[in-house]
């Protein structure tokens, strides 16, 4: 069994707190071991990043740009191996894992090419005022298990491009592809600029409270994000928090079922529903309710469920047992409350954390499956009669990551979408993200943005440069 090690100050090191198993969710069998970081080793990683920052912060934009492009080249060369590692630890089908890796290449190249502007605020005979952006110092990246490689890219690459040094801490459920990513990065940046620590419970809290870390980028649950925020108060760390979502979609009356059903299904069941911005609540007008239910059930029946490395499989397992049990609990609760499970609705009788795509009707707001984020392969359909009421119910959630409106009239759909209380609103699509479009949540779904120039600037602090010009006689 391969033993994966951390990277601290340019050296691959064994953790001082033992090892933990990495489980393949398609088999429920450990296929690798990963090393556990001690608190002393975390200090070593932070010290290494602080030391490296003294030089890295002054590196030129051209040099950093070149480093990131070289990193992207190496990721692309190793794309197949990285994708297979993602399948083994996360469970998604190989084609989706390969897309995750190649998406990481595209995001890295985009970050490399971004310019960090100097804003001219005022220029008069008496003075010149400029707004400059400077790196913050040591940035910690804490990533989840659903898109382990891609989200690490989202966190790390803008931080490096801006001139920061990084401590990466992946989920203990899916640490391996991030470890491989950091090894690739370390080939092209000075020693200590990138470090990675791995471990199970407690390590994230130690990172959040560490006085030598200046910013945390965290993607995960709202409850954990709140703990990160509390722990970060000691030295007023900068925070970017992308937290839970319970994204609603409203289908307006008259929307052609045959035109949008496939897109709605894919938006809801992307990565087996394990995506923060996946479509998680579908509000459908009562006149089309049954037609949409029938169409989605038909699409669900066409999915090929199995190990992501098997030929033709396009629907993998839930990533871990705890999440599987939550999904099953929410579906069982909906059934007990009178909901109709039209397809799926039970764990498959085979090894692995397999739960088929599940469509549930006959429930509404107030049921757990609607009010809570299921983060798995289940979609509840909620009937509505009045469009304004549907909008009110969609906005009633304490979450506000994304949302969408679907309709035949784009102007009507856009007007409705603009009233969604969400960080992102889509029209006739959902969960569409790209490197140049800022992405972030509202309400309890977090704050701060990633992607685009706005996301890059969140990795910097601002300094106003006020220059009084020499007086002339």
DSSP state of 259: H
User: If 0-12 CB within 10 Å is exposed, 13-18 middle and 19+ buried, where does residue 384 land?
Assistant: buried
Domain CATH number, residue 25: 3.40.605.10
**Does 3 score more than 70 pLDDT?**
no
**What sign results for the dihedral spanned by CA atoms 434, 245, 237, 6?**
negative
Same domain, 175 and 271: no
Same domain, 155 and 289: no
How does pLDDT run across 10-40, given as a tens digit for each residue? 999 999 999 999 999 999 999 999 999 999 9
Same domain, 176 and 220: yes
User: Which one, of 145, 122, 156, 135, lies nearest residue 59 by Cα?
Assistant: 135
Same domain, 345 and 197: no
pLDDT for position 4: 87
pTM over 0.85: yes
Q: Please tell me which residue in 37, 100, 165, 242 is annotated as part of the active site.
A: 242
**Catalytic-residue membership of 459:** no
Q: From the CA atom positions of the chain, what is the Rg in Å?
A: 23
Same domain, 418 and 457: no
Domain CATH number, residue 263: 3.40.309.10
* Residue 464 Cα to chain centre, angstroms: 33
DSSP state of 337: T
User: How far apart are the C-alpha atoms of 231 and 38, rounded to whole Å?
Assistant: 19
Same domain, 97 and 161: yes
User: How far apart are the C-alpha atoms of 353 and 274, rounded to whole Å?
Assistant: 13
pLDDT for position 470: 79
Pairing of strands 238-242, 138-142: unpaired
Same domain, 343 and 224: no
433 occurs within a structural domain? no
Six token digits for residue 407: 């309709």
How does pLDDT run across 61-105, given as a tens digit for each residue? 999 999 999 999 999 999 999 999 999 999 999 999 999 999 999
Same domain, 265 and 238: no
Pairing of strands 127-135, 119-123: antiparallel
Same domain, 234 and 252: no
User: In residues, how long is the chain?
Assistant: 473
User: Which domain does 81 fall in, by range?
Assistant: 2-243+445-464
Same domain, 337 and 389: yes
User: If 0-12 CB within 10 Å is exposed, 13-18 middle and 19+ buried, where does residue 461 land?
Assistant: middle
Same domain, 232 and 276: no
User: How far apart are the C-alpha atoms of 105 and 108, rounded to whole Å?
Assistant: 5
Q: Please tell me which residue in 89, 276, 450, 458 is annotated as part of the active site.
A: 276
Same domain, 114 and 233: yes
Give the helix ranges, DSSP H, for 288-436: 289-301, 321-336, 368-371, 387-395, 410-417
**Does 472 score more than 90 pLDDT?**
no
Read out DSSP for 14-44?
A: --TT-EEEEEETTTTEEEEEEE---HHHHHH
How does pLDDT run across 156-212, given as a tens digit for each residue? 999 999 999 999 999 999 999 999 999 999 999 999 999 999 999 899 999 999 999
Number of folded domains in the chain? 2
Three-state secondary structure call for residue 105:
helix
415 occurs within a structural domain? yes
**Does 1 score more than 70 pLDDT?**
no
What lies within 8 Å, CB to CB, of 54 at 6+ separation is none
Cβ–Cβ < 8 Å for 32, 2: yes
**Does 453 score more than 60 pLDDT?**
yes
**Catalytic-residue membership of 165:** no
Per the DSSP assignment, residues forming a β-bridge with 110 are none
How does pLDDT run across 426-452, given as a tens digit for each residue? 999 999 999 999 999 999 999 999 999
The count of other CB atoms within 10 Å of the CB of residue 161 is: 25
Q: If pLDDT is split at 50, 70 and 90, which confidence band does 348 have?
A: very high
What lies within 8 Å, CB to CB, of 233 at 6+ separation is none
User: Which one, of 90, 417, 409, 367, lies nearest residue 247 by Cα?
Assistant: 417
The count of C-alpha atoms lying within 13 angstroms of the C-alpha of 180, restricted to the half-sphere facing its C-beta, is 23
User: How far apart are the C-alpha atoms of 299 and 292, rounded to whole Å?
Assistant: 11
The count of other CB atoms within 10 Å of the CB of residue 261 is: 19
Measured between its terminal Cα atoms, the distance across the chain in Å is 79
């Amino acid at each position: 069994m391969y033993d994966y090690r951390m990277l601290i100050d340019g050296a691959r090191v064994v953790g001082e707190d033992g090892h933990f198993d990495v489980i393949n969710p398609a088999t429920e069998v450990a296929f690798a071991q990963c090393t556990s970081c001690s608190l002393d080793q975390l200090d070593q990683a932070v010290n290494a990043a602080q030391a490296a920052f003294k030089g890295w912060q002054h590196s030129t934009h051209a040099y950093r740009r070149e480093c990131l492009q070289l990193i992207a080249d190496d990721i692309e060369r190793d794309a197949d191996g990285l994708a297979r590692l993602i399948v083994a630890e996360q469970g998604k089908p190989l084609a989706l894992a390969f897309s995750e890796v190649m998406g990481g290449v595209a995001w890295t190249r985009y970050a490399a090419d971004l310019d960090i502007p100097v804003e001219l605020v005022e220029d008069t005979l008496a003075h010149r005022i400029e707004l400059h952006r400077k790196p913050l110092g040591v940035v910690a990246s804490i990533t989840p298990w659903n898109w382990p490689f891609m989200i690490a890219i989202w966190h790390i690459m803008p931080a490096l491009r801006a001139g920061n040094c990084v401590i990466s801490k992946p989920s203990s459920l899916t640490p391996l592809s991030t470890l491989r990513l950091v090894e690739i990065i370390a080939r092209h940046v000075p020693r200590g600029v990138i470090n990675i620590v791995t471990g199970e419970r407690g390590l994230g809290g130690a990172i959040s409270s560490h006085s030598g870390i200046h910013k945390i980028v965290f993607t995960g649950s709202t409850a954990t994000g709140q703990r990160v925020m509390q722990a970060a108060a000691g030295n007023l760390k900068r925070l970017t928090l992308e937290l839970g979502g319970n994204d609603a979609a409203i289908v307006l009356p008259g929307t052609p079922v045959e035109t949008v059903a496939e897109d709605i299904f894919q938006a809801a069941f992307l990565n087996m529903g394990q995506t923060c911005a996946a479509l998680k609540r579908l509000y459908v007008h009562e006149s089309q309710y049954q037609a949409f239910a029938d169409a989605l059930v038909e699409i669900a029946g066409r999915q090929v469920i199995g190990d992501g490395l098997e030929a033709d499989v396009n629907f993998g397992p839930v990533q871990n047992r705890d999440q599987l049990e939550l999904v099953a609990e929410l579906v069982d609760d909906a059934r007990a409350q009178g909901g109709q499970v039209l397809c799926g609705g039970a764990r498959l009788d085979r090894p692995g954390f397999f739960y088929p795509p599940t469509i549930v009707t006959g429930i509404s707001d107030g049921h757990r499956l609607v009010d809570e984020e299921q983060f798995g392969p289940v979609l509840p359909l909620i009937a509505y009669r009045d469009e304004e009421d549907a909008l009110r119910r969609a906005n009633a959630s304490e979450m506000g990551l994304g949302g969408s409106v679907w309709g035949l009239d784009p102007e009507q759909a856009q007007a409705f979408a603009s009233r969604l209380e969400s960080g992102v609103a889509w029209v006739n699509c959902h969960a569409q993200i790209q490197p140049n479009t800022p992405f972030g949540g509202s309400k309890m779904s977090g704050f701060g943005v990633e992607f685009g120039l706005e996301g890059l600037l969140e990795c910097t602090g601002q300094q106003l440069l006020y220059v009084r010009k020499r007086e002339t006689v």
